[in-house]
């Protein structure tokens, strides 16, 4: 045995200290084949840890011993095990070096994980209590650290929580050792995972220790001990995520404490960043508590001065200012905008008036990060806020102009229509900034331009010559990241200008085709990736005929890009392929065989098998670096999987039957991705699966579905089989989904699918779907739950806009289900209509009032006569909505009134005068076209249902004056159905005004996308009939002549 031990120690020394890589390789091989293949390695390693004079050898031996115990412990004689356990306790008390001691503690924890559940090491807990209560500070450190190490790997002490909490109540205030206090905080963080909600006493005991934990962290900050402070920060972050309310009663003090850390310039930036990071997670997980304690205002007031500090040049480096912006963004996206935006705006206005450019920069960036969660709340104030942004764009200081570009980008992404309407003001400002010599301003100006172009539409045409000249010049002369942004802007310009981009196509192709060959470094690969992506948009703009000569070469380059081991390049390659598939459809099919294996491979990428997964738990700094690298690596893989899933769905949609050989393997991967840890991947996989269902349905060419249950028109077998795989998988993740936006995606995709495929796709799951929807309305869905907060809901009139979006998406699905089920929806309507009706009251935001009335209208339209028993609930709401202060609400109210009048069997014709009085103002001076469109639809439905209850000859002049419809073309159906009926019945007023009506027909007939095919055909027949009946109308010499041949 002595020779074995000596050989093992010598081999370990070669591994550690040799400079010869071959010798290290041979020594490592010897360890695995000669020493670690024998159970004797366990007592041998224990002996080396106990006897070696070299701390590095003791450390390595302990690390290896932990692994070998896992492999060999059960094969050791009981006597040997008993001896090893005794020696380990002796070793750890005598070990003076931290790293070997910590590694030995983890060995003890590994043995404990095996022995404690079997009650074969009962003396361990007694030993640890004795150590932790010893007069010797070193022993106390050992005792608490071993407890911490055991909690890291096992719940073996879960039955001893109360005793341990009593112990920790003493060690957390250890009079001599900060190490004991810090380790106690770490041990508490691990212990918290094993406390159940029912253990009220333990929760209370733990909660009493929180102020002491704060004191420990404060001491670390005072001592500038970054490493120990980081450990404490991690524990506080962990406690936020628990389902037990350990922190609940301390939230106010903790928020104030962490705000003070973030704002204290005497602390190192890294510690301030960690303090601000806690605030970000507190907002996410304790938002109800924060609202109830009215902490939003003091938080914003404390964060804005931090936001006005200088930022480091490295854009990837976190700083207090950057974290302050992230916290403000988290407030905006998680809390009601009524509570966040007015306070922040007050600060923004004050900071914009400050002579210090850092304050003005902070104002601009704050405005940029606020937009995401406050869109509907901000919309009425858009013009005033845009003036602030324009002032920033013209600020004398470069850093303020740069920040203003960021604000403008945010505005353009969320208010694309409003920004497009202000193009004459904004684009000259952006063009000026693109000419500046400062690269950062040029880059951000191009970003802003890119965002504006996305929504500019035909407004771009007047700028296109100047814009393309400028962009091509910049592409040829700009450096670094700016070139990539210029390429993206060219893609957006193509998207906005469509076929008008053709004159610039050759020059652009010459440059981008070259950029798609670059591969020498990361910058070149990024430029290649963005160029690949942009070419997909360019292909859609110029069309297949213009793009076809370049197609094969570009496809080959994009395929080559997939093999260059760059996640971003693969993502952009997939975007490009999806765009090309949309443009070329069947012509794209030959490329599927080469691309699909790559897409499937991306779906199957293993995020856990990375080169950074090393068993080096005792080098704390190395471990954190590995974790950071793993996070970046896994995030990049998740992004790639998200795009791959989207692309697979697009391929099937556009190549249809050519894709059938890949359906089975694709569905298998997509279903697996629905449970991925990334919310983006879950959204993409759900979207692709629904896309598969819709595409299969279109391929089946089955009879048009009919509303109601049981299903009147069964799904095709292929659709049914796919549905039996997809829908259960989707509903399973919906139930346990913790991300609101994934549930929003599910609802939106299901709406589109149900509208296309009818009741067949949801017939078997309708009760489960209804339960999930009801949970959302009752705010009991898993994604709506806030951890460890049992104090009830806040005022429902104020909620974050993302929360409101969830309710809105659920309501869209309710409307789609009503249309699919018709009168079979009655039992579900009894549940949902009261929920939805609650959202129409004056105190609710515009978006929610609009959603409520619109959803009630969809239900009334879908249920047909089944709506009758709900008439007295819906009618007063809809009538009140006609005079709402917001145009969007009035529009939906008009639609709802019309649908109700058309479908209810209850005679409400006595209310027609009140309805017509309320509708009349909607025909004049509306700033939203669809208000008048929906009013026309309502009038048409009313006349068709009860013609004698409407003074037709008084109503028709106003009605006809509003035609043709400007925006809501769905309402063309009732509008022209009424006109056709009046013409056929030879209505006197209509016949006296045929010329005016024919002029309307002449205007709308050429616009095929505004009329359904059957309505268009009927209109042409009417025109032909009138031409024969009334030759004096001279239709053959009018624009309608083309339709009477």
Q: Name the one residue in this structure whose structure tokens are 């509008």.
A: 975
| Both tokens assigned to 1013 | 């095919």
At a CB cut-off of 8 Å and minimum separation 6, what does 11 contact?
A: 27, 30, 31, 34, 35
Write down the pLDDT at residue 821: 98
Q: Name the one residue in this structure whose structure tokens are 């172009």.
A: 453
DSSP characters over 242-286: -SS-SSGGGHHHHHHHHHHHHH-TTS-HHHHHHHHHHHHHHHHHS
Q: What is the pLDDT of residues 288-323, one digit of tens each?
A: 999 999 999 999 999 999 999 999 988 889 999 999
**The pLDDT of residue 44 is above 60:** yes
Which 8-state DSSP code applies to residue 34? I
Query: Contact, 357 vs 395, CB < 8 A?
Result: yes
Q: Residue 24 belongs to what H/E stretch?
A: helix 21-30
| Both tokens assigned to 111 | 């043995």
pLDDT tier for residue 833 given thresholds of 50, 70 and 90:
very high
Write down the pLDDT at residue 767: 98
Q: How far is Cα 512 from Cα 494, in angstroms, rounded to an integer?
A: 13
Write down the pLDDT at residue 627: 41
Task: State the CB neighbour count (10 A cutoff) for residue 121.
Answer: 20
Write down the pLDDT at residue 794: 54
Q: How far is Cα 584 from Cα 599, in angstroms, rounded to an integer?
A: 19
Counted residue by residue, the chain has a size of 1045
Higher-confidence residue of 802 and 761: namely: 761
Cis peptide before 75 (omega within 30 of 0): no
| Termini Cα distance of the chain | 107
Q: Residue 975 belongs to what H/E stretch?
A: helix 972-984
At a CB cut-off of 8 Å and minimum separation 6, what does 252 contact?
A: 293, 295
pLDDT tier for residue 636 given thresholds of 50, 70 and 90:
confident
Write down the pLDDT at residue 243: 86
Q: What is the pLDDT of residues 81-106, one digit of tens each?
A: 999 999 999 999 999 999 999 999 99
- Region class of 701: left (phi > 0), else alpha (psi between -120 and 50), else beta: left
Write down the pLDDT at residue 479: 84
Q: How far is Cα 493 from Cα 475, in angstroms, rounded to an integer?
A: 14
**The pLDDT of residue 624 is above 80:** no
| Both tokens assigned to 875 | 């009618």
Q: How far is Cα 3 from Cα 899, in angstroms, rounded to an integer?
A: 93
Write down the pLDDT at residue 702: 86
Write down the pLDDT at residue 80: 95
Q: How far is Cα 797 from Cα 843, in angstroms, rounded to an integer?
A: 6
pLDDT tier for residue 787 given thresholds of 50, 70 and 90:
low
Query: Contact, 347 vs 385, CB < 8 A?
Result: no
| Both tokens assigned to 697 | 């349905």
Write down the pLDDT at residue 404: 98
Domain ranges of the chain: 1-115, 122-245, 993-1045
Q: How far is Cα 251 from Cα 254, in angstroms, rounded to an integer?
A: 5
Question: Percent of the chain scored above 70 by pLDDT?
Answer: 96
Helix ranges (DSSP H) in 825-971? 826-837, 846-863, 871-881, 887-903, 912-919, 929-945, 952-961
Write down the pLDDT at residue 785: 84
Query: Contact, 872 vs 904, CB < 8 A?
Result: no
Sign of the torsion angle spanned by Cα atoms 755, 757, 760, 763: negative
Q: How far is Cα 989 from Cα 436, in angstroms, rounded to an integer?
A: 65
| Both tokens assigned to 422 | 């202000």
Write down the pLDDT at residue 795: 55
Q: What is the pLDDT of residues 264-290, one digit of tens each?
A: 999 999 999 999 999 999 999 999 999
Q: What is the pLDDT of residues 578-601, one digit of tens each?
A: 999 999 999 999 999 999 999 999
Q: Name the one residue in this structure whose structure tokens are 């353009």.
A: 412
Write down the pLDDT at residue 1044: 86
Rounded to the nearest 5 percent, the helix, strand and coil shares of the chain are 80, 0, 20
Query: Contact, 232 vs 185, CB < 8 A?
Result: yes
Q: Quick one: average pLDDT of 893-902?
A: 98
Query: Contact, 638 vs 680, CB < 8 A?
Result: yes
Higher-confidence residue of 154 and 208: namely: 208
Q: Residue 83 belongs to what H/E stretch?
A: helix 78-94
Query: Contact, 569 vs 525, CB < 8 A?
Result: yes
Sign of the torsion angle spanned by Cα atoms 784, 790, 792, 793: negative
Helix ranges (DSSP H) in 371-479? 375-378, 382-393, 398-414, 416-421, 423-434, 439-454, 464-477
**The pLDDT of residue 801 is above 90:** no
DSSP characters over 223-244: TT-HHHHHHHHHHHHHHHT-SS
pLDDT tier for residue 842 given thresholds of 50, 70 and 90:
confident
**The pLDDT of residue 696 is above 80:** yes
Write down the pLDDT at residue 791: 54
Q: What's the whole-number average pLDDT of the chain? A: 93
SS3 168: helix
**The pLDDT of residue 55 is above 50:** yes
| Both tokens assigned to 594 | 């080469």
Q: How far is Cα 779 from Cα 838, in angstroms, rounded to an integer?
A: 13
Q: How far is Cα 353 from Cα 360, in angstroms, rounded to an integer?
A: 7
**The pLDDT of residue 628 is above 60:** no
Query: Contact, 267 vs 311, CB < 8 A?
Result: no
Q: What is the dihedral of CA 931, 935, 938, 939, to 10 degrees?
A: -170
Q: What is the pLDDT of residues 163-182, one digit of tens each?
A: 999 999 999 999 999 999 99
**The pLDDT of residue 611 is above 50:** no
Q: What is the pLDDT of residues 348-398, one digit of tens each?
A: 999 999 999 999 999 999 999 999 999 989 999 999 999 999 999 999 999
Query: Contact, 663 vs 721, CB < 8 A?
Result: no
Q: How far is Cα 984 from Cα 997, in angstroms, rounded to an integer?
A: 14
Question: Percent of the chain scored above 90 by pLDDT?
Answer: 87
3-state secondary structure labels for all residues of 634-685: HHHHHHHHHHHHHHHHHHHHHHHHHHHHHHHHHHHHHHHHCCCCCHHHHHHH
Burial of 141-171, coded b for 16+ CB within 10 Å and e otherwise, reads: bbbbbbbbbbbbebebbeeebeebbebbeeb
Query: Contact, 154 vs 116, CB < 8 A?
Result: yes
Sign of the torsion angle spanned by Cα atoms 841, 847, 850, 851: negative
**The pLDDT of residue 790 is above 50:** no
């Amino acid at each position: 045995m002595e020779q074995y031990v000596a050989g093992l120690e010598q081999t370990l020394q070669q591994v550690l200290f040799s400079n010869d890589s071959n010798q290290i390789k041979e020594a490592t091989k010897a360890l695995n084949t000669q020493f670690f293949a024998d159970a004797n390695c366990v007592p041998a390693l224990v002996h080396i840890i106990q006897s070696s004079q070299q701390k590095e050898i003791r450390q390595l031996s302990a690390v290896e011993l932990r692994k070998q115990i896992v492999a060999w412990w059960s094969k050791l004689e009981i006597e040997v095990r008993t001896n090893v356990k005794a020696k380990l306790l002796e070793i750890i008390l005598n070990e003076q070096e931290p790293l070997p001691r910590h590694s030995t503690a983890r060995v003890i924890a590994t043995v404990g994980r095996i022995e404690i559940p079997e009650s074969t090491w009962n003396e361990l807990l007694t030993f640890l209590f004795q150590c932790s209560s010893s007069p010797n500070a070193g022993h106390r450190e050992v005792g608490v650290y071993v407890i911490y190490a055991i909690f890291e790997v096992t719940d073996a002490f879960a039955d001893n929580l109360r005793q341990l909490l009593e112990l920790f109540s003493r060690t957390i205030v250890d009079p001599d050792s900060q190490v004991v206090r810090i380790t106690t905080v770490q041990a508490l963080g691990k212990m918290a995972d094993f406390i159940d909600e029912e253990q009220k006493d333990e929760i209370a005991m733990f909660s009493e220790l929180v102020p002491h934990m704060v004191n420990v962290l404060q001491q670390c900050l005072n001592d500038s001990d970054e490493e120990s402070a980081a450990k404490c920060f991690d524990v506080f972050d962990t406690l936020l995520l628990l389902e037990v309310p350990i922190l609940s009663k301390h939230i106010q003090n903790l928020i104030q404490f962490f705000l003070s850390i973030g704002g204290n310039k005497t602390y190192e930036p890294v510690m301030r960043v960690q303090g601000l990071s806690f605030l970000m997670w507190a907002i996410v997980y304790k938002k109800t508590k924060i609202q109830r304690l009215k902490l939003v205002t003091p938080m914003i007031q404390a964060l804005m001065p931090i936001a006005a500090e200088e930022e480091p040049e490295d854009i990837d480096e976190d700083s207090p200012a950057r974290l302050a912006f992230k916290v403000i963004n988290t407030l905006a996206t998680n809390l009601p905008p009524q509570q966040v935006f007015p306070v922040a705006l007050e600060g923004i206005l004050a900071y914009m008036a400050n002579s210090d450019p850092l304050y003005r920069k902070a104002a601009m960036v704050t405005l940029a990060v606020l937009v995401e969660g406050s869109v509907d709340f901000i919309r009425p104030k858009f013009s005033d806020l845009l003036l602030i942004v324009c002032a920033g764009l013209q600020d004398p200081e470069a850093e303020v102009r740069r920040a203003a570009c960021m604000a403008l980008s945010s505005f353009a992404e969320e208010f694309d229509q409003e920004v497009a309407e202000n193009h004459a003001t904004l684009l000259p400002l952006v063009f000026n900034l693109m000419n500046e010599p400062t690269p950062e301003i040029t880059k951000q100006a191009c970003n802003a331009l890119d965002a504006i172009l996305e929504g500019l539409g035909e407004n771009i045409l007047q700028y296109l010559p100047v814009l393309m000249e400028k962009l091509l010049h910049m592409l040829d002369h700009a450096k670094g990241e700016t070139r990539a942004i210029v390429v993206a802007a060219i893609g957006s310009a193509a998207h906005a200008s469509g076929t008008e981009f053709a004159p610039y196509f050759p020059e652009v192709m010459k440059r981008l085709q070259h950029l798609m060959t670059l591969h020498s470094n990361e910058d070149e690969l990024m430029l290649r990736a963005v160029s690949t992506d942009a070419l997909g948009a360019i292909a859609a703009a110029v069309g297949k005929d213009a793009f076809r000569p370049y197609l094969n070469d570009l496809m080959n380059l994009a395929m080559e890009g997939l093999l260059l081991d760059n996640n971003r390049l693969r993502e952009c390659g997939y975007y490009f392929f999806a765009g090309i598939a949309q443009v070329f459809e069947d012509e794209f099919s030959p490329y599927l065989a080469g691309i699909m294996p790559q897409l499937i491979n991306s779906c199957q990428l293993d995020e856990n098998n990375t080169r950074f997964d090393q068993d080096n738990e005792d080098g704390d700094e190395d471990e954190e670096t590995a974790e950071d690298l793993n996070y970046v690596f896994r995030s990049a893989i998740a992004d790639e999987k998200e795009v791959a899933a989207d692309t697979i769905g697009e391929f099937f949609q556009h190549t249809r039957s050519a894709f059938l050989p890949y359906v089975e393997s694709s569905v298998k991967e997509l279903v697996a991705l629905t449970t991925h840890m990334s919310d983006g991947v879950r959204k993409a996989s759900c979207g692709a699966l629904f896309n598969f269902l819709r595409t299969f349905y279109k391929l089946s060419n089955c009879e048009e579905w009919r509303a109601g249950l049981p299903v009147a028109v069964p799904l095709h077998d292929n659709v049914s089989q796919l549905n039996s795989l997809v829908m259960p998988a989707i509903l399973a993740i919906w139930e346990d989904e913790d991300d609101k936006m994934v549930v929003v995606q599910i609802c939106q995709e299901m709406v589109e699918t149900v509208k296309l495929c009818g009741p067949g796709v949801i017939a078997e799951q309708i009760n489960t779907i209804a339960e999930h929807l009801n949970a959302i309305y009752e705010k009991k869905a898993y994604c709506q739950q806030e951890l460890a907060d049992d104090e009830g809901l806040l005022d429902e009139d104020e909620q974050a806009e993302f929360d409101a979006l969830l309710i809105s998406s659920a309501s869209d699905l309710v409307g789609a289900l009503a249309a699919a089920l018709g009168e079979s929806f009655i039992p579900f309507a009894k549940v949902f209509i009261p929920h939805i009706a609650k959202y129409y009251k004056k105190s609710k935001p515009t978006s929610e009032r609009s959603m409520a009335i619109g959803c009630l209208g969809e239900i009334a339209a879908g249920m047909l006569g089944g709506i009758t028993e709900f008439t007295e609930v819906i009618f007063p709401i809809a009538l009140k909505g006609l005079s709402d202060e917001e145009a969007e609400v009035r529009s939906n109210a008009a639609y709802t009134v019309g649908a109700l009048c058309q479908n209810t069997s209850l005679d409400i014709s006595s209310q027609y005068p009140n309805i017509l009085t309320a509708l009349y103002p909607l025909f004049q001076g509306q700033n939203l076209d669809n208000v008048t469109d929906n009013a026309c639809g309502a009038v048409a439905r009313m006349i068709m249902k009860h013609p004698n209850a409407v003074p037709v000859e008084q109503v028709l002049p106003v009605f006809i004056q509003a035609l043709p419809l400007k925006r809501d073309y769905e309402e063309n159906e009732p509008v022209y159905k009424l006109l056709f009926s009046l013409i056929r019945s030879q209505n006197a007023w209509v016949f006296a005004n045929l010329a005016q009506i024919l002029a309307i027909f002449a205007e709308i007939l050429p616009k095929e996308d505004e009329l359904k095919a059957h309505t268009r055909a009927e209109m042409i027949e009417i025109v032909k009939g009138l031409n024969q009946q009334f030759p004096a109308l001279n239709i053959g010499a009018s624009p309608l002549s083309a339709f009477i041949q």
